[in-house]
Amino acid sequence: MIMTRSRDVSDAAMNPTVRHARLDDLDTIMEIERKSFRVPWEYTIYLRICLQEGRVRSSDEGMLFMDVLEKEKKIIGFAVWETNPLSKKGHILNLAIIEEERSNGYGRMLIRHVQESLKNTGMASCNLEVRESNSLARSLYETCGYVISDRLAGYYFDEDAIEYSRNL
């Protein structure tokens, strides 16, 4: 009798990975952005970031970062954040996961990645803003250790924002 061994699919091929954003990601990023937010960011913002492979100087000291989350060679989400070395604070500016992959732990994965990146660049804390009505995102941030630090009236023009923060 000949025994054959079934070929195992590598976990690495199935598990999502995070990498720097590239120019060829731009169309997918914009599609996720438009489907995720009532008022999407401008194309030119993402173009500038992608042209520099997800790493852009935002001030004399600070940097702006964008990484994508890729699953089976398809982008399923992204995060944009900045650092302020003078205050030692990071700021998550944007985070989105495609709708069909939400509530699967990928947002948490991206947040952990951003937090680790912030720690590695010497940041001591992180903050972010979210629409008051976005209960799914608010729940995600709260389970990742963020606490409400402020309410920003009219932040989104049509709605207040809740500011969250946490120490790293």
Domain around 25: 13-124
49 found inside a domain: yes
State the Cα–Cα distance between residues 115 and 162, nearest whole angstrom.
19
Average confidence score pLDDT of the chain:
90
Above 90 in pLDDT, residue 7?
A: no
Strand partners, 55: 65
- Confidence check: pLDDT of 13 > 50: no
Burial of 162 per CB tally in 10 Å (0-12, 13-18, 19+): buried
The pLDDT value given to residue 5:
42
Asked whether 133 and 93 are in contact (CB, 8 A), the reply is no
31 in any annotated domain: yes
Task: Residue 51: give its domain's CATH number.
Answer: 3.40.630.30
pLDDT in tens, 136-161: 999 999 999 999 999 999 999 899 99
Residue 5: strand, helix, or coil: coil
Q: Residues of the chain with pLDDT > 90: what percent?
A: 85
In a domain, 61, yes or no: yes
List beta partners, residue 164: 128, 148
The span from the CA of 155 to the CA of 153, in Å, is 6
Most confident by average pLDDT, 11-15, 35-39, 59-63, 141-145: 141-145
| The pair of three-digit structure tokens given for residue 23, joined into one six-digit string | 């120019």
* Residue 62 pLDDT class (50, 70, 90 cuts): confident
φ/ψ of 69, rounded to 5, equals -105, 125
Q: How confident is the model at residue 15 (pLDDT cuts 50, 70, 90)?
A: confident
pLDDT tens digits along 20-52: 999 999 999 999 999 999 889 999 999 999 999
β-sheet bridge partners, residue 20: 67
Strand partners, 165: 127, 147
Cα 54 from Cα 79, distance rounded (Å):
10
What are the tens digits of pLDDT across the range 101-112? 999 999 999 999
The answer to whether position 163 is within a domain reads no
User: CB-based contacts of 151: which residues, under 8 Å, 6+ apart?
Assistant: 132, 160, 161, 162, 163
Within-domain flag for 48:
yes
Separation CA 20–CA 69 (nearest Å):
9
pLDDT of residue 3 exceeding 50? no
What pLDDT, on the 0 to 100 scale, is given for residue 14?
64
- What pLDDT, on a 0 to 100 scale, did the predictor assign at position 53? 94
118, part of any domain: yes
Q: How many separate domains does the chain show?
A: 1
Q: Does any domain span residue 140?
A: no
Q: Is the dihedral of CA 127, 129, 132, 137 positive or negative?
A: negative
Structure pTM?
0.88
Dihedral pair phi/psi, residue 58, rounded to 5°: -105, -15
pLDDT at 58 (0 to 100):
82
Q: Specify if 98 maps to a domain.
A: yes
